[in-house]
Amino acid sequence: MSHFDNLESYPPFFRPNHGIDSNEQACKTSVHLDSDCLPVIDFLCMNPENLSEACRDWGMFRLINHGVPLNLLNQLLDHAKQLFSLTFESKQDLLSSTSPIAYFWGTPALTPSGDALQKGSGTQDHNWLEGLNISLTKLSKFQYEDPLLESFRSSLEEYGRQLSRVATTLFSTMAEDLKLCSTKSKSYLSPPTGILRVYRYFRCMDSHQRWGINAHTDSSVISILHQDEVQGLQVFKDNQWLDVKPIHNTLIVNLGDMAQAMSDDKYLSVKHRVKVNRDKERISIGYFVFPVEDALIECSKYKPFTYADFRTEVQNDLKTLGTKIGLQKFEATQE
C-alpha cells in the first residue's frame, strides 16, 4: 500500500488489490536497451538530408532547440499533476465529454471510457492510465470558471500554437525531401486538426505484466511528445524494444501512418508502447496532427484514400476485431 498514495484520485478499478495478482510471472518477451542511439535533430540546423535519415531509418527522433519555452513545458506538467491529483469523481464532474478538455481512463482512445472494464473484462484487456483529450479548435472558444482549469486551458492553447509551428516546419522539410508538390504539401498537413492528449500512467505492482499503452502505431502524420522525468516510452527497432530516455527540454517526434503512406513507405510509421512503473507515476503530453479530412493520399504502395477513409476503417476494426489493422487495409495489392 505504501506505493500508492492519493488513492482517491485513481479510478476504483486501478486501486490496489482490485483483481490484481502481484505474484504473476514477469513478462520476458522483449529486450530493453539504452536509447542514446535515438537520432537527435537540431530544429535550428534541420535540413532534408539529416531529417530524412531519421524518418527512414527510425521513424522517431529527439528534437532539440525546438523553441518551445521551458517554463511553458514545466507549467503544463505542473497543471496536469494538480488536475490528475483530484478525486476520480471530481475529474468526472469537471471534465465532461462536452468540455474541450475531456476525461477518459482505462483506454488510450477517448471512447468508450472504461466501458470494457465496467463490463467485467479481464485485467489484461485495459491500459493502466487515465487521460485528457483536448480539441485545440474548441479550446480557444471556451473559458472555465475553475481557476486551475482556466490556467491549464490557457497553457494548453499556447502549447498547441507552439507545436503547430514546430510540426509545420518539420513537415515542410519532409515535403522537400519527398519532393511533394505544393498542393499535396498544403493538404497533407492540416494544423487545425491538431489535438492534445495528456496521459497519467498509474503506478502498478505488476509493472512487468501491465501496459500503459500497448504496442501500436499512430494514425497521425506527426506526433510530438513531451514527457516528465519518469521513463516508460519504448520504440521498436531492429526487432527489439529500446527505452527512450526522458531528457530535459527535449521533445520526442514520431511519424504516424499518414506520413508512411504519403512517403510511399520511404518513411516509417514506428511501433511504440509505454511501460508502467512500480513506484512512480508518469505524465506525458502528446500532440497529434493529421491531413485535411478529404485530401486524397496517392502513392504506388496504397490505393488512393483520405484520412477520413482511414479513420473509419480503424474505428470499425477496433469495434469488430478489438485491434487496429491500419495501412494494411489499403495496400495496393489488397483485394
Bridge partner list, 243: 234
Strand partners, 61: 253
Q: Does 282 qualify as catalytic in the annotation?
A: yes
Q: Coil, strand, or helix at residue 214? A: strand
Q: Determine which one of 62, 200, 203, 282 is catalytic.
A: 282
Q: What is the CA radius of gyration of the chain?
A: 20
Tell how far CA 69 is from the center of its chain.
Answer: 21
DSSP state of 310: H
Cell numbers found for residue 295: 485530401
Positive or negative CA dihedral for 225, 231, 233, 234?
positive
Residue 287, all three cell numbers: 500532440
Helix (H/G/I), strand (E/B), else coil: 284: strand
Neighbours of 290 (CB within 10 A): 25
Is the dihedral angle over the CA atoms 92, 96, 97, 100 positive or is it negative? negative
* Residues forming the active site: 282
